[in-house]
Structure 1
Amino acid sequence: MTGFDVARYLGLWHEIAVIPNRFQEDCAAGTTATYGLAEDIVGITVFNSCLEEDGGRSDADGRARFAGPSDEGALEVAFVSLLGFWLWPLSGDYIVFALDPEYRWTAIGHPSREYGWILAREERLAPDDLKLIASRFEDAGYDTCALLMSPRAMGDPRTPLCELH
């Protein structure tokens, strides 16, 4: 994707749907990601947070850096640091492959298609937006049944995205 504007991307995003993964297995509801400009490196701060089943919070601090030109939305994201140095060899690829022109929602994936997220500025998206995003995931080769809607509150169902359109 070209035209990615990091300044517009910064701030709070709510997870709308996710392909379940091991590094978020403790998240039961209310998952968010907050991006900011990093002062210690050229890049982006990443702060992920969610509610756990027991009602506690799980937080993860990380850093992201561009994996190519900054207008392409391809990032490496690291959540492991040692003595203040981010361990980039342990980072994951994070590709913004669809983005609302107004930066209201984004579709993010990984080259393996084993990971994927729908993030939005608001806690919910309109059905038409979800249909459009589902088509973007399909066009990118993802199984939309693997994307599960993220619970906003404890006990909310984790409906597959494919069942909503």
Structure 2
Amino acid sequence: MSLLSLMMIRLNKMQIGVAMGIGAAAIAMNFLSCVTIPKGAKAVSPFRKDSYLGKWYEIARMDFKFEKNLDHVTAEYSLNPDGSIRVDNKGYNYVKKQWKQSIGKAKFVKTPDAARLKVSFFGPFYAGYNVIAIDPEYKYAMVAGNNLDYLWLLSREKDIPAAIQTAYLKQAQNLGYDVSKLVWTNQR
């Protein structure tokens, strides 16, 4: 076999290896960016995106490392020029005595008339953001993440009426959430 033939065989093997590596990376990225909704949960539909935009106060959340020790948490949603939604989360870390801000991007999983979104604060990696309850005036909302580890109660005001809180907690419990793990955000 000539030297040229051996070089061509090596080049073809290298191209196949690169193609397989790219394919594996794409599969891994898709897996890591898995966007789901908890079993039994249904996203609000029809959903009025424009009514949801604006400032929301976090009333309660399942605690996780990105919001650890945060009070006075707000989320502000606005439209980006490309049609995606800008997510601006802010909160005060009462241990470090400093404000923390995270800017992200949300996109609809399918169509904007269903409140199933995916949100990213870290490049190409997305997580589920599912509005599963909202009042008719878009003043109070409950948002589920990918699984039962992520849940938020939101309000346009710094508190939430007891009747709505009770209804949302009951709905969350029926889906399997352990609502005793909720952290109630200090908004005062």
- TM-score, normalising length: structure 1: 0.82
Which amino acid letter does the alignment assign opposite residue 72 of structure 1?
Answer: A
Shift of 1:26: 4.3
Match of 2:87 among 46, 67, 80: 46
Of 60, 85, 88, 2:102 maps to 60
Q: Is the 8 A contact 2:127 2:146 kept in 1?
A: no
1:24 offset after TM fit, Å?
1.0
Q: CA deviation at 1:55?
A: 2.9
Shift of 1:132: 1.1
Alpha-carbon contact 1:26-1:58 (below 8 Å) kept: no
Identify, as 1 or 2, the structure richer in helix. 2
Q: CA RMSD in A?
A: 1.3
State the SS of the aligned residue for 1:57: strand
Work out whether 1:126 is the aligned partner of 2:161: yes
Q: Kindly, what percent of the aligned residue pairs are identical?
A: 27
The offset of 1:141, in angstroms, is 2.3
Structure 2 counterpart of 1:69, which letter?
A: T
* TM-score w.r.t. length of structure 2: 0.73
Map 1:1-165 → 2, pairs under 5 A: 1-27=44-70, 29-39=71-81, 41-53=82-94, 54-80=96-122, 87-88=123-124, 90-153=125-188
Q: Runs of at least 4 residues of structure 1 off by over 6 A? A: none
Q: Structure 1: any 5+ residue segments left out of the alignment?
A: 81-86, 154-165
- 1:12-42 Cα offsets, whole Å, 9 max, x none, are 0000000001111142x10000000011x22
Number of residues of Structure 1 aligned to a counterpart in Structure 2: 144
Shift of 1:110: 1.7
